[in-house]
Structure 1
Amino acid sequence: MRNIVFGLFVVAVATWIAGVVAARNADAALVRQASISASLFEAVLQSALERFRALPLVLASDGDVRGALGNSDRDVRHRLDLKLARLAERTSAAAIYVIDPRGRTIAASNSETPESFVGREFSFRSYFAAAMRNGSGEQFALGNTTHRPGLYLSSRVDSDGKALGVVVTKIDFSSLETEWRSAQTPVFVTGADGVVLITSVEAWRFKQAAQLPIRPLASGDMLVSATLPGRRPADFVAINKPITIPGWTLTVLRTRDIGGAVAAARALTLLASALCALGLWAILRRRNLAIAARAAAQLELEAKVASRTRALSKANSKLTSEIAERRRAEAALLLLHLELEQANRLTILGQVAAGVTHEINQPVAAISTWAHNATVFLARSDTASATTALATIVALTERIGRITGELRDFARKSDGAIACVRVDDAIDGALMLVSAHQQQSGVRIKRRAACDLAVIADRVRLEQVLVNLLQNALEAVEADLEGACVFIEAARSGKDIMLSVTDTGPGVAPEIAASLFTPFQTSKARGLGLGLVISRDICRALGGDLRLLPTGRNDGRGATFAVTLPAAQGMGDIA
């Protein structure tokens, strides 16, 4: 009897230990899954924030915005209303509006709606005061007119050192919250003061995080007990992630359901204990059997052991199948996360890729031409020419890779690698990229050798600027006119090297020249108004500049764009 009690005690302890170990393993797996989910929610939120962060900054330098702030004409401001409305519709912004220095709204994307901001006073808003004081501001608040919460991003509009007003973009997170609610996972974001700003649980909005029905189960642990509206208290795993906005924190609650794992571990332990007990009983029984019945008893015992072994194997196979199914589910979830992260990266690249799409199209067109030539060479059995064409295709493909790499660096606000670049090499690369366009236009391009001049720059980005200027020059020149030509040359100018691109076109009108480097200002029917702006930004990032120079002709025709970059002191490492 004492042995039986001791055996039951051992089985009970083993079962309890198995449950504890299974619970810890299940909690660890749940924490990993919750961390992946939190990273996914954070990536979606960061994407929504980054999509709008640059919008007020770009609009602060827009000519129409400055014109409306400096002109009280209602027609001027009404045209700005329409422009802001179109921009808000394209970017899915809740509202875009312009405020004068006194805090009164002069133009808004919702000017045609009953909730129009035009004429309303917003000087009491902290985002307005911060922008007027520091140049930019951020504030999450409840709309005074719409009564809907949102994040306000503001940027000051300056002209000649004077503050003309403030441009504000409001981000509405209602669609994001709808996506969160469809995930059936409680998610919320708290501000620096601990107030819930964005949440998938409507009842928790604008409450202090300390007042939410969430209590930790153990000190310093991520396990919490939370009560959702209309539900009983349940256990969750809480994951906190900081957001790029200072003081903001994203919290994700993942349901803690480990009962199945604990029950399976305990059942397996009981089954093993039962088998051990059965085996021990069989051994003791066999020792007490008569020698005459030993053979029959042994056969019976072997049959029983075989039966129990099959049952154990079946249970083990079922458990193995469940583990494999869980691993497949985790792999599918990880694949979904990677695909969403890739979509997020494409969204971020899409915000800046439009400005340099034509620079990438040129090597693609050249690749098509060289590929066609290679096909012709192979048909002629001209292996050497085909090899040269294919090598050129490889070089152009690598160049496209470098250009797309620059798109990634631009999205990450990176200036790229700086090295000593031979000017002739950069001009050769740019001429190769525009060769197809030049042949189609029929306009000659004349160049003057740079005589081993070198600059401190990034070769790919320098070629990008030269291609942009050469493309514009070719488009400006009319091939059927006598003397139609484009000139490109380089010369030393003090401590700098100046590369100039000159065309024999009609020239740049004064009204266009005044806003030539203003974003979204263009005279082309399909232009974006970003090519020259991006080119000048690249030159300035490399320590130089891009300017429009007078051609010196009496008839006022032609245009000359000059790129100045620091001259290299030596010809050491050539990029």
Structure 2
Amino acid sequence: MLNTLSGRFLALTVVFVMIAEVLIFLPSVARFREDYLLSRLERAQIASLALLADEMIDPALEGELLENAEVFNVVLRRDEIRQLVLSSPIPSPIVATYDMRDSSPWTLIRDALETLARPGNEVIRVLGSPVREGGELIEITMATGPLRGAMLEYGLRVLVLSAVISVVTALLLFLAVRRFLVVPIQGVVAAMESYAKAPEDARRIIEPHAGIVELRAAEEALQSLQTQLTAALKQKDRLAQLGGGVAKISHDLRNVLTTSQLFADRIETTTDPTVARMVPKLLNSIRRAVSICEGVLAFGRADEPPPALSHVSLAQIVHDVIDGERLAAGDAEISFSEDVSPTMLVRADPEQLYRVISNLVRNARQAIEASRKAGEIGISAVETDVAWIIRVSDTGPGLPPKAQEHLFLPFQGAVKKGGSGLGLAIAAELVRGHGGTLGLYETGPRGTTFEITLPKTLAIVDTAVA
């Protein structure tokens, strides 16, 4: 019960109301004590009027007057004369004197607590002002037993009433909270649980209907989230199915293209001038098609092995990449430059790093070839205290805005016409496997630069047991 929102609210309401009643109880009891003592002073003054009317009264009548007033003695000061008007034997010495003429609220509360804390039937003196200008001062002596008993009885009634008010208030608040908060929250939770069972089913998306502004805002936010998630799951499912089919088609198509490439290589030696002119273009088209198929297959592999990190010579990897791309460039007016220290060693998987740099250089070469202008491709590297930074730059035409928006997204970030956009996506994934980043450093009409950052520090896993 206390683990629920409504249960805790009920308990807190009872506690807070009781605290409020206790804070009210103290001044209430102090006020009751003040009224009690003032009433005894008034009774004593009325009793003294009998003696003032007739200076000689019967001792029995005097005792009856004192008993009705619940006091032992009455002293009245009139015309600056202090006179013992009524008297009877005092059972014990006077323990305290209380002046009711100018007592502050704090003094009344303190005196009330003191009276409740002393259980004995003691004698006290009480001073006050006579009513209706019946004198200058009236003084009585009385027992504290009846006063304390009356205060306890009054306090008990106040506490019982406070408890009843607390329970009723808490119950009403409990029902209100359950009606306006708990039940709507439970409805939201039930809608979330129902949606979690079949997130692809659009019928399970919550429909906002709460009347409370905050809860309705929560329902609308949940509805928006569920709508986006359902659409994303449907798209993911379609892409998964499409990816499986594309991977199968790419596998079979790669085999067909490989066979076609073998035949094209053989007819490359023909003496027919027309065929000789067309064979290089045919071979380039087949190579691009094979490259796209291999990229699709590589991206679709879920078992891409993690990088086998070791310290390798970056200059050697860069040299191998440039040698391969220089042969692929053929007669194109493309120059290559290397600015990598021969002694620089980087922590990386040599095969995966080769694939990343080769992909960037190949993209740069193809961009320059597509511009039909001369160009240059350069690879440089610097070493800082925390990372190795490799930059691949070219003097090509730069990346179009659409390619920049989806640069590292598969099937969306194609740089050249007819590309799949998988090369940069795979390269970025391989770099992330090294704990590094691959990003576009700059691009424009004067060229493009990509930057690879490989961290020097290894990830630290905290194995401490809490």
Same fold (TM over 0.5): no
Q: What's the TM-score, normalizing by structure 2? A: 0.36
Q: What's the TM-score, normalizing by structure 1? A: 0.30
Higher helix share: 2
